Amino acid sequence: MGLGFKLAQTVVDFCKERGFSKVVLETSSIQTAAVSLYEKLGFRYVRSHTNTYSHDWVGALAKLSVLVMEKHL
């Protein structure tokens, strides 16, 4: 297990212990390694959007979309 996996699993465990029903996260479409990691942890794609905190031209140039993923606990 890598550090990213351990950190993400710690978040999931923390939420489970406190009775949360799900964990929701956002990542960019170009971060394929992150998407793969979240899928391995049981997160599923819910929707995408293009509202980012960067300038509009950056998102357009990178063909960036934000993926919303969630895991039911």
Question: Which pTM does this prediction carry?
Answer: 0.80
pLDDT tens across 25-47, in order? 999 888 999 999 999 999 999 99
Both tokens of residue 54?
């960067």
Residue whose entry in the numeric block shows the structure tokens 């996260």: 25
Confirm or reject CATH 3.40.630.30 for domain 3-72, answering yes or no.
yes
Whose tokens are 């960067």? That residue is 54
Q: Is there a contact between 48 and 65 (Cβ–Cβ < 8 Å)?
A: yes
Per-residue confidence band for 61, with pLDDT thresholds at 50, 70 and 90:
low
Each domain of the chain, given as residue ranges in start order, spans: 3-72
State residue 34's pLDDT score.
95
Question: 44 and 28 in contact (C-beta within 8 Å)?
Answer: no
